[in-house]
Structure 1
Amino acid sequence: MPNRTNLEAETNLEAETDSPIVLPPLHPGEVLREEFMVPLNLTAYAIAKACGVPRTRIERIAREEIGITADTALRLGRYFELDPRVWLNLQTAFDVETARRALGDTVDRITPLVRDAA
């Protein structure tokens, strides 16, 4: 039988512990930082200058202190040649997951609307 790699062992923790691994929601700032700034050696200043926004906006997004607005998504989309909806979808997914965790089972206790089958 072949040996499992470390990655396989690490990604199979759920099966070994019988409980799901809960990761924090992915903030778009993490994507900006880890997928663009670090590998491309870009500073917040360089991105901000190219996009015409304050340096602090990019810094705060990268530090995951603030979210991505439609304005910023359009600018980052143009700069990185991505559809701006990529940035907005990341932000929406983060917001929904953060709210879901904050609300706990409150949403589950809402009775869905029952419609007449007319």
Structure 2
Amino acid sequence: MAKPQPINYEDASPEVRAVFDDIKTSRNVPDVNNIWKYLARDPVTLRRTWSSVKEVMAPGALDPLVKELVYLAVSVTNNCGYCVASHTAGATKAGMTEAMFGELMAVVGMANETNRLVTGYRVPTDAAFE
């Protein structure tokens, strides 16, 4: 199989264009990000993913900055460069400062280190945490 290529708006099916239009309107942007152009190769996945992102990232019990910080932390841990860049931009837009980013990266690094230590040592969960 050849390397997947993005689907641009002018080449998109009406179903894909409808999702692209919703993304552009919801985010007040002139074009969709690359992730959506690549997901457009499978319109069902595009629609489902956009619907889920829109619902999960909407303001709720967690404010938008907290949601972006969590997404950024998970993206760093999962080694998704695209998502790290995207959610660093989103967190910055939502109010993340350099100091917050530094602290977040320290927490991510510490959590990953201690998670691996606990896994390697097979540390049982304390009764107090159950």
Provide the TM-score with structure 1 as the length reference: 0.29
Q: Name the structure where helix makes up a greater proportion of residues.
A: 2
Q: Which has the higher contact order (CA 8 A, sep 6+)?
A: 1
Structure of larger gyration radius = 1
